[in-house]
Amino acid sequence: MNTIVALIPVFPLLGFLISGVGYRHVPKKVTTFLAPGMILISFIFSFIVFLTFATSHFRYLATSLPHHLFSWIRIGPLDIPFSFLIDPLSCLMLLIVTGVGFVIHVYSVGYMKDDPGFNRFFSYMNLFVFSMLLLVMGANYPIMFIGWEGVGLCSYLLIGFWFKNHDYNNAAKKAFIMNRIGDLGFLMGMFLIFTTFHSLNYQDVFAQAKGMAFGNPNLVAITLLLFVGAAGKSAQIPLYTWLPDAMAGPTPVSALIHAATMVTAGVYMVARSNILYVLSPATMAIMGMTGLATALLAASIAIFQNDIKKILAYSTISQLGYMFVGLSVGAFTGAVFHLTTHAFFKALLFLGAGSVIHAMGGEQDIRKMGGLKHAMPKTYWTFLIATIAIAGIPPFSGFFSKDEILGKAFEFSSLVWLLAVIGSLMTAFYMFRVLFLTFFREFRGTDMQKHHLHESPAVMTIPLIILAVLAAVGGFINIPAIFGGNAGLSQFLAPVFADARAVMEHEAPLAPGTEWLLMGITLAGVLAMSAWAYHRYIIKQLGLLPDDAPRSFAVRLVSHKYYIDELYEAVIIKPTMWLSKMLHEVVELRFIDRIVDGVGNMVVWTGNTVRYIQTGNVGFYMFIMILGIILILFFNILI
């Protein structure tokens, strides 16, 4: 068992090393099979682990013992072993990361086949999977941090994959630096954890935390700092602006990193340290508000975007906001559940978008698409499924996961529920907007594109289909009791969140009646929204306004993403640059260095001045000497 667990991350690493070190010499064909193959193997291993695990008697045992590989940093009390923790949560994440990762690798083989940087791309992708695995498997915060920063690096490398273009490079740099801001929070959180618990291993920390008072300030501080990290990684307000720009990377990257896995790391981390969070209500509140705000903000922006990938990016942000809302109301299972389903349908959406872009020869503006349904049916159907899933229409996966969160939200407060519902309505609207504008109506592209239109090759469509299936049926892993399901996932994850649930005060679960009612309302709204979208874009044929078309102020505000980027530019970046210049040119050169040189110059100047005492005139010398003699005698004798 231990070796198997240890081997899971090794294969992607191997893949990275082979295709990375020998990026010139390894032939394309080898990589074609190597890179996805490695992921597949670690997927199989993860699955084995999962199976040995799902056999319930083994479960509780396994959660309690991390797999210790070697001791990494050890100084007296500070002992950070390099060890992996396998429990239901990390198991689930393993499956998602390796599973979805594999599918996307396969897709990428088709997508990137003509790219000169083929090997480089796959080495990065493997490295990413490796880091992601460390992140989810780590048995203590530092190991998680390794993965945490590792995925950041990979996203930097992959966003800037086509590094000839400086816009892409800037996007990459932006992503890395914003993540780093979060990471600083994470780091400080770790330090505070260490000073509070004198350990960084999950088990010790959580075991001690269990005993601590509700709302203990240290815990609040810790959780807040960690949440800063989560916000950076999972693109929450105020650190979300990097994610839309991150779409500069190749589409599979957006699918894997910026939708399915990396961005959910924050959610994973909070779920992982659930006990700390449930004990610090202040953080929960802040997290909830942030999540909600992000969800609404991003959704509203998404409505007015025209770049297909940007829309999906904003929808990702808003979905992540959902997950944080879920976490904040204590629906840990719900959040993780939504994370899972989201991984499926969002990956699918991106891959679909990718195949569309592929077909359109790089075109990303949905206003220039249309009518692709006939040209590329497979893509269309899969995309449709994904859209329904994300919109939250039963029985597709999105419905169940969203519903769980909403339900918990309602338990928490009806206002939260209301806002969340509004968010999901917007989601439904803009997703259908994309669908209609892209696949319905007449083709609006150039003739050249029209000829070039084609369904993507099998290597790309098969992944689509796989994901489509998952997106469709993914919800069934956790059918709530009300549908007569056994809530498998909740039970599976129960041990992880046991402590948290123990802490949380138990108000009575919703009466079935209310639950049906809520579901009904949401569903009705969603359907209404999609209907309105249909009416607007199919029947009235709207939504093709060029950018320079006159718009109302509110619309302009939203379609410019509330000018947040411009704000940051003005408030943070410009001042920093100015400060840097000012410090160098004024403080450094004009002040500090002047003082240093000044001392030297003063010495030289004095030297140059006093040397003129040496007039060369004997009479003067004698005079001075007599003066000296008189002074000496005067001071020594008369006084």
Partner 1 sequence: MTTIISLIILGILVLFLGILKKQSWLLPVILTGLIAAMALTVMDWNSVRSFNNGMLIVDHVSVAFSVVLIFSAFLIFSLAAQYYRGVQRPLDDIYGVMIFALVGAVMMTSYGNLIMLFLGIETLSIALYVLAGSHKEAITSNEATLKYFLLGSFLSGFLLFGIALIYGSTGSFDLHQISLYVASCSGIYPTMFLAGLFLLIIGLAFKIAIVPFHFWAPDVYEGTPTLLTAFMATVVKTASIVAMFRFFTLTFNGIHGVWETTIWILAAVTILLGNLTGVYQPNLKRMLAYSSISHSGYMMLAVVAFSPMSNNALLFYTLSYSIATIMAFGILILVREAHGNDFFTSMNGMAKTNPLEAFCLTVAMLSLAGIPPLAGFMAKYYLFTTALEKGLVWLVIIAIAGSAISVAYYFRPIIAMYLREPNGIPLKVEMPYKIHLVFMTLLVILIGLVPVFLVGIL
Partner 2 sequence: MLTQILILLPLALSLITLLLKKERTIRYFVLAGTLVEFGIAVAAFIQYKTMCHCQLQVTAGWISSLGISLKFGMDGIGLLLVLLTTFLLPIIVLSSFSHSYNRPAAFYSLVLFMEMALVGVFTAFDGMMFYIFWEMALLPAYFISAVWGGKDRIRITFKFFIYTFTGSLFMLVALIYLYFRTPLPHAFDFQSLYAVTLTPAEQSWIFLAFFVAFAIKIPIFPFHTWQPDTYAQTPASGTMLLAGIMLKMGLFGMIRWMIPICPHAVQQWGPAAMTLAVTGVVYGSLIAIMQKDMKRLVAYSSIAHVGLIAAGVFALTIHAMQGAVIQMISHGINIVGLFIVIDLIEKRTKTRNIADLGGIALKAPRLAVFFMIMLLGSIALPLTNGFIGEFLLLLGIFERYMAFSAIAGLTIILSAVYMLRMYQRTMLGTTNEITEQVTDLTWTEMAPLIPLVIMVFWIGLFPGLFLDTTLPDVLTIMSYIR
Partner 3 sequence: MMILSTIPIDYYLVFCSILFCIGVIGVLIKRNALLILMSVELMINSINLLLAAFSAYMNDPAGQIFVFFIMVVAAAEVAIGLAIVVLIYRTTHSIDIDVLNKLKW
Interaction partner, residue 581 (partner 3, partner 1, partner 2, none; CB < 5-8 Å by kind): partner 2
Task: Specify the amino acid at residue 215.
Answer: G
Identify whether the C-beta of residue 65 lies closer than 8 Å to the C-beta of residue 124: no
Place of tokens 């056999």: 55
Interaction partner, residue 635 (partner 1, partner 3, partner 2, none; CB < 5-8 Å by kind): partner 1
Interaction partner, residue 596 (partner 1, partner 3, partner 2, none; CB < 5-8 Å by kind): partner 2
Interaction partner, residue 146 (partner 2, partner 3, partner 1, none; CB < 5-8 Å by kind): partner 2
Interaction partner, residue 553 (partner 3, partner 1, partner 2, none; CB < 5-8 Å by kind): none
Residues within the interface to partner 2 (CB under 8 A): 23-24, 70-76, 78, 142, 145-146, 149-150, 153, 156, 160, 163-166, 169-170, 173, 176-177, 180-181, 183-184, 187-188, 190-192, 194-195, 576-577, 579-581, 583-584, 587-588, 592-593, 596-597, 600
Residue 315: name the closest of 391, 383, 373, 416 by CA.
391
618-623-626 Cα angle (round to 5): 125
Place of tokens 């679909």: 352
Nearer to partner 1, 542 or 630 (CB): 630
What are residue 140's DSSP bridge partners?
A: 201
Nearer to partner 2, 192 or 369 (CB): 192
Question: 499: Cβ–Cβ under 8 A, 6 or more apart, which residues?
Answer: 206, 210, 274, 275
Interaction partner, residue 73 (partner 3, partner 2, partner 1, none; CB < 5-8 Å by kind): partner 2
Residues within the interface to partner 1 (CB under 8 A): 600, 603-604, 606-608, 610-611, 613-614, 616, 618, 621-622, 624-625, 627-629, 632-633, 635-637
Identify whether the C-beta of residue 531 lies closer than 8 Å to the C-beta of residue 428: no
**Residues 565-624 interacting with partner 3 (rule: CB under 8 A):** 611-612, 614-619, 622-623
Helix 458-473 and helix 88-111, axial crossing angle in degrees, nearest 10? 150
Nearest approach, Cβ of 477 to partner 2 (angstroms)?
A: 33
Nearer to partner 1, 213 or 618 (CB): 618
Question: 259: Cβ–Cβ under 8 A, 6 or more apart, which residues?
Answer: 312, 316, 342, 343, 346, 347, 349, 350
Nearer to partner 3, 458 or 632 (CB): 632
Report d(CA 35, CA 579) in Å as an integer.
Answer: 45
Nearest approach, Cβ of 626 to partner 3 (angstroms)?
A: 7
Nearest approach, Cβ of 16 to partner 2 (angstroms)?
A: 13
For 440, which DSSP code?
S
Residue 74: name the closest of 86, 64, 83 by CA.
83
Interaction partner, residue 448 (partner 3, partner 2, partner 1, none; CB < 5-8 Å by kind): none
Nearest approach, Cβ of 610 to partner 1 (angstroms)?
A: 5
Nearer to partner 2, 180 or 444 (CB): 180
Nearer to partner 3, 614 or 636 (CB): 614
Report d(CA 388, CA 378) in Å as an integer.
Answer: 16
Nearest approach, Cβ of 625 to partner 1 (angstroms)?
A: 6
If one counts every other C-beta atom within 10 angstroms of the C-beta of residue 396, the result is 23
Report d(CA 154, CA 51) in Å as an integer.
Answer: 30
Nearer to partner 2, 175 or 464 (CB): 175
Buried b (16+ CB within 10 A) or exposed e, 289-310: ebbbbbbbbbbbbbbbbbbbbb
Residue 23: both structure tokens together: 């990026």
Nearer to partner 1, 56 or 608 (CB): 608
Binding site for partner 3 (CB under 8 A): 611-612, 614-619, 622-623, 626
